[in-house]
A and B are shown apart, each in its own frame.
Chain A
Amino acid sequence: MKFLRKALDTIKPKFESGGKLKKYAPAFFAIDSFLFVPNRTTKNGAHIRDGVDLKRVMYTVVLALLPALFFGMWNVGYQHFSQIGSDLSFWNLLAYGASKVLPMVIVSYGVGLGIEFLFAIKRGHEVNEGYLVTGMLIPLIMPVELPLWMLALAVIFAVVLGKEVFGGTGMNILNPALLARAFAFFSYAPYMSGDKVWVADAAKVDAISGETLLGHLATGHDIASHSVMDMFMGYIPGSIGETSVLMILIGAALLIFTGVASWRIMLSSVIGASVMGLIFNVLAVNPLMALPWWQHLIIGGFAFGIVFMATDPVSSAQTTKGKWIYGFFVGFLAIMIRVFNSAYPEGVMMAILLMNVFAPTIDHYVIQGNVKRRKKRLKKIAKTA
């Protein structure tokens, strides 16, 4: 790799202060530091540093998303061809799915990173790595039939209004990927719900239709035609990456093991959802309420949402105690919205966005607890003195 390093070093002066292309320095250094971890050494403070950096953390999340991505591609093929009755090999199904999904991934990264670079050049700061994850998340939470231009618009909305106006990575209040989905959902509702968008080509070929299980339940039908195993493995229609709980759990295991995502949020979300589900089971009057509580955990976007979106450290609660409270309400509200709002069965997106807004408040009260403890200690001393 020496020749590459040499090549970069030759053109580097152009981008450094005084160079002709100084303006484009953020773009150059983003690529340079992507290829090579820089030779920068510690100046003040600790002389040695942990091997971890933001690139590594973000890339670990992308790795954790890959099982869901590949399964999603395969499932796109499977849902399509199982309905028209042709029997294709695993590789054919995957290739068909890839032909549908990869363009979405490319558009998401192309548009999103394009905006990130533009803002970095305009503001003269370095490109943060936050979009590496967002760019992968966005296609995975969209229906496969979403037109690419809508996807592009959703990405623009999420990155510009969800992130850059607040100051970029680390400053946003809402999870950008969910914001992209919320934008698409409210702007292009017919493309984000119903029975024609979840299976590839459903709108063109009459024989194909497919509703998500939650959509099915919300319209008063039962879901007896799908076994629990289907739901867990993910052989069901839905957003590209959300269907396979098994693949999501593999990702979750990687995130928890490496310590990159908070297991507390995941666990407390499951607890919150189970509590709400159990309450509904007891009071059940319709098929959605009667759905066994544990099945709520394996259908729809719940698993994907709590593993990859609720745990976004920027938009979730930051204190340990806050994370427990935040996670609990994400789960609790997700199931509540799912069941009560039949027009919009996928509640986990709304629940996470809502809790994103409340996360700073939760943290505020947790921290006030600490402040109060300190003040109490002072008072106690003042009394005895």
Chain B
Amino acid sequence: MSKDIHIKRGLNIPLQGESDKKITSSKSPNKFAIQPTDFYGVTPKLSVKAEGTVAIGDALFFDKNQERVKFTSPVSGTIANIKRGAKRKILAVEILADTKDTFKDFGKADVASLNRDQVKDKILISGCWPYLMQRPYDVIANPNDTPKAIFISAYNTAPLATDYAFILKDKKEAFAAGITALSKLTDGSVNLGISSKDADFFSAIADANIYQVTGKHPAGNVSFQIAKVNPINQGDKVWVVNPQDVAIIGHLFLTGHYKPERTIALAGSGVKEPQYYSLKSGQDLNDLFKNTVKKGNYRIISGDVLTGTKITKETCLPFYTNSISVIPEGDHYEFLGWHPFIGNHKLSLSRTFFSWLTPNKKYDLDTNLNGEERALVVTGEMEQVFPMDVYPLQLLKAAMANEIEKLENLGIYEVVPEDFGLIDFTNTSKLEAQEIIRYALDIMIKEVG
């Protein structure tokens, strides 16, 4: 029995350069890299040496604190280089791909007939485990835990959103198998939030509790759906998985192969023909960007413009990426730019621009801060874009003051940094809310565990 969720507050940010519904496979380059820095809180320990050979699915490194969690090669070839930074920190394991695509065989299996430990082992050994993320704290799940529920949001409301139903259209079987596998890992249910327009597409998924979500951004963020369906209490563990990653897990059980191929939306006003690309995890993106990113001063972001990370043209496809956004840099001055009621070229929650007159306009927003950081003055604006029974301003203040008990009381376990993306965007004082929440979560990990 599914119940539907409507999320009232929020803000959609319409940007120029939405991806066309067209998937192009890019030519696979021979340079690949897996970056341990993609995995928050993981201390990598290498399992390979430079110049060794690997097949797809061979472990490259594992987590020192949780040795069962392995990170495996997305491609077969030879280890070209171990790139290290300060204090010999491992920045990337670089692989030179061969042309053979040799898969390590993890064994085909009918996932419905496996028990919990068998499913777990297969996911762990193949390198699919890092796709399972734990709430609270937004870190990779601990394989020794049994979560009270697993949540997947296939509804994306972020700016220039990736349409999950579209990118899964050829991976439906794998997606269904992935859901079945996940359902083995929890005593509770696997919950799948979908957009009402995709109801037909997902109707065949058997082992999940499906609910339709409506509302503005951040309705698609899984935290807000969890809060409505089965809120996280102190001591609870909930796991979340991205829909695309569910299909990779499903593919593992259907074929016995680890095949981390991702369809990503390349979007934004800095892209020549915004569309979807089918890429391999860790592949060098230089060629792709060379042909698709416009000339000029643009910022390339792995992820959406609210929560993503800035990357360079030389970056290899990060592990979790579902979209890449390219928007203009905003390092320019604007004479008396703070003057209200001039122009409608910027989007604002306040009606101090004329942008409220043109609700359907798509904006070409740049990375200018549009002001400077100031003391917190304006109240009530964060709540407008934070549809959860949590007081965001008070939570942020508790974080800045390191008040652990207060953080706990105010609901720190229910939120992750990405939920504060819109608060970063809207707040007048230009507060870095996501950074503060990540800091708070780190304190909680250290003090509470």
Contacts and interface: CB of A to CB of B under 8 A. Distances in A.
Contacts of B367: 41-42, 47-48
Interface stretch (A14-22, A168-176, A179-187): A168-176
Interface stretch (A212-220, A338-346, A373-381): A373-381
Interface stretch (A126-134, A152-160, A286-294): A126-134
A47 B369 contact: no
> A55, A171, A257: which has the most chain B beta carbons within 10 Å?
A55
Interface stretch (A89-97, A100-108, A314-322): A314-322
Interface residues of A, number: 59
B192 to A, nearest CB: 23
A373 B305 contact: no
Nearest to A167: B375
B306 A47 contact: yes
A384 to B, nearest CB: 12
Nearest to A1: B335
A206 interface: no
Q: Is the interface of B mostly helix, strand, loop or mixed?
A: loop
Interface stretch (B171-179, B258-266, B432-440): B432-440
Contacts of B379: 262, 313, 316, 318
A168 B375 contact: yes
B374 interface: yes
Nearest to A318: B379
A260 B340 CA distance: 12
A62 to B, nearest CB: 10
Contacts of A371: 409-410
A42 B425 CA distance: 10
Contacts of B420: 45
Contact of B376 (A34, A59, A170, A377): A170
Interface in B333-357: 333-340, 346-353, 355
A39 interface: yes
A86 interface: no
Interface string A345-384: 0000000000000000000000100110111011001000
A44 interface: yes
Given A5-B333, A36-B334, A47-B308, A367 B394 contact: yes
B312 interface: no
Given A314-B377, A378-B234, A54 B429 contact: yes
Contacts of A4: 335
B368 A57 contact: no
A51 B352 contact: yes
Interface string B350-387: 11110100000000011111111011111111010000
A70 B62 CA distance: 71
Interface string B388-402: 011101100000000
A258 interface: yes
Contacts of A123: none
Contacts of B305: 46-48
A329 B90 CA distance: 60
Contacts of B377: 54, 57, 130, 169-170, 313-314
Nearest to A316: B379
B interface residue count range (under 10 / 10 to 19 / 20 to 34 / 35 or more): 35 or more
B374 A128 contact: yes
Given A53-B374, A126-B372, A47 B426 contact: no
Given A36-B337, A313-B379, A371-B410, A48 B366 contact: yes
A49 interface: yes
A128 B375 contact: yes
Given A51-B353, A170-B374, A367-B394, A41 B338 contact: no
A40 B369 contact: yes
Interface string B407-430: 001110000000011101111111
A129 B374 contact: yes
A215 to B, nearest CB: 35
B185 interface: no
Nearest to B231: A377
A323 B333 CA distance: 37
25 contacts: A34-B338, A35-B336, A37-B337, A38-B369, A39-B333, A40-B369, A41-B366, A41-B367, A42-B368, A44-B434, A46-B306, A46-B425, A47-B301, A48-B366, A50-B426, A52-B352, A53-B370, A57-B428, A169-B375, A257-B351, A258-B340, A259-B350, A259-B381, A314-B377, A318-B380
Interface of A: 1, 4-5, 33-42, 44-57, 59-60, 63, 126, 128-130, 168-171, 257-260, 262, 313-314, 316, 318-320, 323, 367, 370-371, 373-375, 377-378, 381
Interface of B: 13, 159, 231, 233-235, 299, 301, 305-308, 310, 325, 327, 329-340, 346-353, 355, 365-372, 374-381, 383, 389-391, 393-394, 409-411, 420-422, 424-430, 432-435
| 10 shortest interchain CB distances as A-B pairs | A53-B371, A170-B375, A51-B346, A37-B337, A46-B424, A55-B338, A36-B333, A45-B424, A37-B334, A51-B348
